[in-house]
Structure 1
Amino acid sequence: METTSKEDPFLSHFETLIDEIEINNKASKTTIELSSSSLGTCQFTSSSSTKSPILPCPVNTLDSFAIKKSLLSSIESSGSQLTPLQLDFFSLIHNYHDMYYPNRTNTNDVGEQLRFVICLHLINHVLKTRARILSHNAKLKENPDLDYHDQGFTRPKVLIIVPFRESVRRIIDCFENLLLNTDDSEKTDQIQISHRKRFQEEYGGGEIDKQNNDGKFQRTSDEYNEIFAGNIDDHFRLGISVTRKSLKFFQSVYKSDFLIVSPVGLRTLLEKRRQKRKHKESSDNSGSDDDDNDNNKNSTDNNSSSIADFLSSIECVYIDQLDVLSMQNLDHLFYILENLNTIPQQATSKIDFSRIRHWSLNGWARLYRQLIVVSSFTSPLFLSLFHRFSTNYFGQCLIQPYFPLNGYIRPLSTFHQLFQRIPVCDPTLRFNYFIENILPRFDTSTYDHTLIYLSSYFDFVRLRNYMRTEKHKQFNYLTLSEYSTKKQVLLARNIFYHREVRFLLMTERFHFYHRYRIKGIRHILFYDLPSYGNFYPEIVHFLTLPHVEEKKTTVTTTTTTRTNQTVEPSTCTALYAKEDALKLAYVLGQSAVTDLLTSDKNTHLFTNK
């Protein structure tokens, strides 16, 4: 059995009992700036007692890290050489610092490079945990008086949150490559993989149909194909147990080392457990008096520490493709993170309290939990999530975002593009400002066929409901959202192209998932800027698509009869507030942001002249 040195970050992190004074002394935190050519600028924040990392990574091989020999052997036998990005990234997470990386790209292998070293770190963590427990078990058999604290309340140690089943398949590929030594056939034969066929059936397949791309925008682009390759079902949860010689899929949550889930998949399980516990409590209390019922209801209230007890001892959380997760439902993700590391209210017979770590008994598990977040872009919401749940006493590494030098507007100078600063950012105030100051300007016959792009579904619903009220029935509009059926999409596109329609309301998620080429658009109005910077040129590109030739026709709607007027040249208008600085940087480039936010002018026109 391998021995571990005290230089091992695994030991120095998890076997150190931090001082309660240090926990409460937030003022002792300091921030330093590090940089490397591969990672860019990194802000490292920690308590004064935490040793700062070094960038660039001072070593160029994995031998210098405290990695299990079996894993090193597998990597060496595969002939893989880590890139500078992988070495720098691994050097930070190997030391159990929290990590926020917002520069994952979907058009090259950056995402795969990071996924490999993160999987290496997580498997290394689980194998070390297991080896340490087995070593202590053997010593306790020889001397029962020894005292070891090496466990948590439950077995699961790593929680991986990803958007699609294809993401799970790629993670499992990394696991297998790390656990299988391809140079040693005898060892390979000894590795046991349970339920492999079932895994392939449930997590494989689902390739994009490239022959059926009618009406889609750049359906064969690398960016789209990378995101939506393989099985894109978003409702799953998979428990995995790992040893040096086995990989077992579809384990129960209490027998798993890894839990790989989608947000909605795990949220569904937690809700099922909540309902089951609620039903059980109701049955148990059916014969009690009213006072007892009230007390029991208040004491349990479907207690999160009971329904999520299998998440009580999670030590590493890996959130991949946070940008894609934001196109699903981030409420589920927040709910999951809020329920991590709570002390179980009910002890099971399998818990050996004599082996539980002191900091876990103290309720400090969240302070030892490592959080790794990877995304393709950053946003105030993403940063808020990271800062809220990054509670690791070992420090946080915040990689600064990379912005395109000139953004995405320079190649699109054929059309006049107006950026208009508005004085409000609060969603309600923004909506009120929009309907009072912006919408009336576009509600004229010269601005027929205007696309209104909304990044938030809630803003979309609010504007749609406003237009459909009896008071504002004069609005002639169509809608496209992520909840539109194929039949509704086909009908809306057909009507919008062939008839006189004032507005087409479209959500960002609709474009994210479908990438339809919307023909007939003459004007574009961005209610707010897209979350993905590259969506801006994709939407503006719609202005270059064909539209029906203007005719002198009279069109009768449910409430109005209007005659086509002379149509304005195609235009694009984007609204922004000072809180949209990050979105502006992705669209225009960082150098233009300061000018647009501090200028005395509220409008800025980009043209080809």
Structure 2
Amino acid sequence: MAKRSIRDRGRTEKRRRTRDNDDSKQEPIDEPVEDAPEPIVEAPSEDEDEGDMAYQALVTILKSEHKEPKPKSTKKQAKEEEEDDDEEDDEENAEEESDEELAGENLAENDDDDNEEDEDDEEIGGIDDEEDAQDPFESHFNAASEEFVAKAADDVKNKWRLAKKTRVKNYTILENLPPLEKPLPIVPNPEKFLKQRVKLAVDYSMENDPLVEPMLNYQDINYAYKSHTNSKYRRLYATHCVNHVYKTRDRILKNTERLHANEDLEVRDQGFTRPKVLIVLPTRNAAYETIEQLIKFSGVEQVENHKRFLTQFHSTEKVPETKPNDFKDAFKGNSNDFFCIGLKFTRKAVKLYSAFYSADIIVASAIGLARILENPDKTKRQYDFLSSIEVLVIDRANHIEMQNWDNVQTILKYINKIPKEFHNADFSRIRMWSINDQAALFRQTLVFSEFTTPAINNVITTKSKNLAGKIRFKPVITEANCIMNSVALRIHQKFTRFSSSSPQEDPDARFKHFTNAVLPNIFKTSSYEDGILIFIPSYFDYLRVKKHMKDNTRISFVALDEYSDQSSQDRARYQFNSGKAKVMLYTERFHHFHRFEISGVKSVFLYGLPSNPLFYNELLRCMGKMVFKERAEAELCILRAMYSKWDTPALERIVGSERAAVMINGNESYEFK
């Protein structure tokens, strides 16, 4: 299947949602000093009336003595004979799919073969001993009393403490814990509790990996993997997700057997709905790679609907060799960003395209899932299948942020919300912390990004309520490994700090400094009267600057943003390269999706520091290209940047942590060459 162009995806996104002004909704930005424990800000409460209604309905059902009989198990006739024909039909339908269709969507209440599971399901994770109280799965989800959880729900609203700060390899690891009277136990060597089938499928070493202990102990993790070549963490979270599914299903099956022997037992081992894991990814190719890992670590050989899956999610299409390696990795294969697919695990098989309410794992793009949660047609909106998610994974978060971070905020709004309907749930087995709307206290959130940004950090720092605590892996960036040290060109670089009293006021202070101190002198401070590229990370800031320059100056300029069509791009690049337009406004998101080497650049001004440090190097290379072509002199080219103390994380990636600390607290201007 041919993948959509970046331009087409941008247009589709624009049609689906209001123009992305997400940057105008400024996220709280982390303080420059990150060693201090980060306070937890209570997430916005849900509508009280809606919550009361749901709770009252739930109580009513709990008190009811009426129980609907379960349908008797029946096997499908001639199922194996029909599978090949079904696969062929699925493949043909997939080939006819349009880019507007949500690949994998299945909001049916149940799969057709759900009744089969009652007949031939047995322990799917492999034969293990009885539950071990030291098993992190047991101690995290099943050991806490109702009274403990009720008190903990209030405690997490208070200031969390920095429990541990360690240096491992090239990371500073910060562990923050909630102020509980008795912290949840952290088990050493938790990999020994993996299900037997998962252990047999694991083909990599977990030894000395600092991610293993917090992940398998269900702590929240914010991990910057630093390079697209680092993929081991993906195998680890795939292993963890499959293991969690097996632990959950096997516990339910064991308890069902116990209830058959003694109906008076009280066992609470379930949520409102079956899905327990949600994995959010940016592209279908990323989903393809992750799902193949999940299948591998499941230890099963039979995969239903695999041909259809390969047709819709896999592609051998290559990215041009002229693009940077990280770009080729991000956009390789099928880069369509519209999908949401359910995976169901049984003893014999993994079923792809499972109905969401019958699935164990849901793999989705942020925009695809958000489209279901807030469908323009309100009658089609659904979120109940997210009510019992216990492990949330957000991977390649930088790419998702460039698509539209509002979609992630939408997911966080609905996850673990009390369902509108109860979907034949057995309330006698639902955990009390689910019934009491406390599931967020136990949900593990894993966020992986190449580098962190304020929006990405806030998923853990302000949205996390996990009683097990949260771990941040902060890369150690020195003068030796910062991006500036990798620049081979000797081009003048000047950084100027402006005052900004708070993150909320930073956009206004930045705009005021630019319009009062920078723009009036932009030609005076440049050795050339043309070829000035103004790089603007925030789309909201870009629109503001563009309007100001159009309404209040006579500067001849062109502008490139993520919504520019091909003809606009070609025209703007020609006018800038030929000198007809003296200035180009250029957004970070446009560069992310295209990675052009803009011709005609003789000087660069950074309205804000790029979140991706590689972009800094690439902007310098644009000037180097002009020097190589002898259209500019290296001694006369200059990169100028303005920054505030709220830009510390991005500044550290460019100049290193030690120099960044000096630049934030010392003089207002620094020069490098």
Is TM-score (shorter-chain normalized) higher than 0.5? yes
Contact 2:170/2:476, CA 8 A, preserved across alignment: no
CA 170–83 in structure 1, closer or farther in 2 if over 3 Å, else same = farther
Compare 24-33 and 571-580 and name the one that shifted more: 24-33
Alignment counterpart, residue 308 of structure 1, candidates 383, 388, 391: 383
Alignment counterpart, residue 637 of structure 2, candidates 547, 559, 570: 570
User: What is the aligned partner in structure 2 of residue 328 from structure 1?
Assistant: 403
What is the CA–CA distance in structure 2 between the aligned matches of 1:249 and 1:339, rounded to whole Å? 24
Contact 1:29/1:48, CA 8 A, preserved across alignment: no
What is the CA–CA distance in structure 1 between the aligned matches of 2:377 and 2:181, rounded to whole Å? 41
What is the CA–CA distance in structure 1 between the aligned matches of 2:470 and 2:634, rounded to whole Å? 54
Aligned partner of 2:218: which letter? Y
Contact 1:526/1:573, CA 8 A, preserved across alignment: yes
Cα deviations across residues 501-538 of structure 1 (Å, max 9, x unaligned)?
A: 22101111111111111111111100011001121111
User: What is the aligned partner in structure 1 of residue 215 from structure 2?
Assistant: 93
> Is 2:182 aligned against 1:49?
yes
Higher relative contact order (CA 8 A, sep 6+): 2
User: What is the aligned partner in structure 2 of residue 130 from structure 1?
Assistant: 249
Contact 1:150/1:355, CA 8 A, preserved across alignment: yes
Aligned partner of 2:254: which letter? S
Pairing 1:388-537 to 2, within 5 Å after superposition? 388-406=462-480, 407-410=482-485, 411-412=487-488, 414-424=490-500, 426-443=506-523, 446-469=528-551, 471-472=552-553, 474-537=554-617
> Is 2:137 aligned against 1:10?
yes
**SS of the residue aligned with 1:392?**
coil
What is the CA–CA distance in structure 2 between the aligned matches of 1:489 and 1:512, rounded to whole Å? 15
Pairing 1:323-402 to 2, within 5 Å after superposition? 323-348=398-423, 350-402=424-476
What is the CA–CA distance in structure 1 between the aligned matches of 2:197 and 2:634, rounded to whole Å? 70
CA 534–603 in structure 1, closer or farther in 2 if over 3 Å, else same = same
CA 452–361 in structure 1, closer or farther in 2 if over 3 Å, else same = same
Contact 2:489/2:624, CA 8 A, preserved across alignment: no
Pairing 1:166-185 to 2, within 5 Å after superposition? 166-180=285-299
**SS of the residue aligned with 1:500?**
coil
CA 24–550 in structure 1, closer or farther in 2 if over 3 Å, else same = closer
User: What is the aligned partner in structure 2 of residue 74 from structure 1?
Assistant: 201
Aligned partner of 1:40: which letter? Y
- The Cα shift of 1:203 comes to 0.6
> Is 2:317 aligned against 1:207?
yes
User: What is the aligned partner in structure 2 of residue 583 from structure 1?
Assistant: 650
CA 201–328 in structure 1, closer or farther in 2 if over 3 Å, else same = same
Alignment counterpart, residue 208 of structure 2, candidates 78, 84, 90: 84
Aligned partner of 2:361: which letter? F
Contact 1:447/1:567, CA 8 A, preserved across alignment: no
What is the CA–CA distance in structure 2 between the aligned matches of 1:574 and 1:52, rounded to whole Å? 47
**Identity over aligned residues, as a percent?**
30
**SS of the residue aligned with 1:409?**
helix
Alignment counterpart, residue 267 of structure 1, candidates 370, 374, 388: 370
- The Cα shift of 1:140 comes to 1.7
**SS of the residue aligned with 1:238?**
strand
Cα deviations across residues 379-408 of structure 1 (Å, max 9, x unaligned)?
A: 222222212221111111122233243422
Compare 192-201 and 35-44 and name the one that shifted more: 35-44
**SS of the residue aligned with 1:327?**
helix
**SS of the residue aligned with 1:81?**
coil
Cα deviations across residues 56-101 of structure 1 (Å, max 9, x unaligned)?
A: xx75xx8x521111111222xx5x333533xx21221111111111
What is the CA–CA distance in structure 2 between the aligned matches of 1:209 and 1:23, rounded to whole Å? 49
Compare 114-123 and 401-410 and name the one that shifted more: 401-410
Compare 424-433 and 308-317 and name the one that shifted more: 424-433
Compare 43-52 and 456-465 and name the one that shifted more: 43-52
What is the CA–CA distance in structure 1 between the aligned matches of 2:657 and 2:162, rounded to whole Å? 23
**SS of the residue aligned with 2:671?**
strand
- The Cα shift of 1:328 comes to 0.8
Cα deviations across residues 128-176 of structure 1 (Å, max 9, x unaligned)?
A: 1111111112222232222211111111111111111111111112112
User: What is the aligned partner in structure 1 of residue 276 from structure 2?
Assistant: 157
Contact 2:602/2:626, CA 8 A, preserved across alignment: no
Gaps of 5+ in 1: 181-187, 278-305, 552-565
CA 539–68 in structure 1, closer or farther in 2 if over 3 Å, else same = same
What is the CA–CA distance in structure 2 between the aligned matches of 1:550 and 1:161, rounded to whole Å? 46
What is the CA–CA distance in structure 1 between the aligned matches of 2:167 and 2:665, rounded to whole Å? 31
- The Cα shift of 1:244 comes to 3.3
Aligned partner of 1:454: which letter? I
CA 164–577 in structure 1, closer or farther in 2 if over 3 Å, else same = same
What is the CA–CA distance in structure 2 between the aligned matches of 1:119 and 1:199, rounded to whole Å? 18
User: What is the aligned partner in structure 2 of residue 183 from structure 1?
Assistant: none
What is the CA–CA distance in structure 2 between the aligned matches of 1:391 and 1:274, rounded to whole Å? 32
What is the CA–CA distance in structure 1 between the aligned matches of 2:183 and 2:427, rounded to whole Å? 29
Contact 2:495/2:640, CA 8 A, preserved across alignment: yes
CA 449–273 in structure 1, closer or farther in 2 if over 3 Å, else same = closer
What is the CA–CA distance in structure 2 between the aligned matches of 1:418 and 1:175, rounded to whole Å? 48
User: What is the aligned partner in structure 2 of residue 140 from structure 1?
Assistant: 259
User: What is the aligned partner in structure 2 of residue 20 from structure 1?
Assistant: 150
Contact 2:139/2:184, CA 8 A, preserved across alignment: no
- Root-mean-square deviation over aligned CA pairs: 2.4
**SS of the residue aligned with 1:389?**
coil
**SS of the residue aligned with 2:133?**
coil
Contact 1:527/1:575, CA 8 A, preserved across alignment: yes
**SS of the residue aligned with 1:49?**
coil
- The Cα shift of 1:246 comes to 1.2
CA 260–605 in structure 1, closer or farther in 2 if over 3 Å, else same = same
What is the CA–CA distance in structure 2 between the aligned matches of 1:274 and 1:428, rounded to whole Å? 37
Aligned partner of 1:71: which letter? V
Alignment counterpart, residue 339 of structure 2, candidates 225, 236, 255: 236
What is the CA–CA distance in structure 2 between the aligned matches of 1:273 and 1:366, rounded to whole Å? 27
Q: TM-score, normalised by structure 1?
A: 0.82
Aligned partner of 2:306: which letter? R
Aligned partner of 2:432: which letter? H
Aligned partner of 1:125: which letter? H
User: What is the aligned partner in structure 2 of residue 301 from structure 1?
Assistant: none
State the number of aligned residues.
531
**SS of the residue aligned with 2:151?**
helix
Contact 2:624/2:634, CA 8 A, preserved across alignment: no
- The Cα shift of 1:127 comes to 0.8
CA 194–546 in structure 1, closer or farther in 2 if over 3 Å, else same = same
User: What is the aligned partner in structure 2 of residue 604 from structure 1?
Assistant: 670
CA 567–532 in structure 1, closer or farther in 2 if over 3 Å, else same = closer
- The Cα shift of 1:356 comes to 0.6
**SS of the residue aligned with 2:327?**
helix
Aligned partner of 1:536: which letter? Y
- The Cα shift of 1:572 comes to 1.0
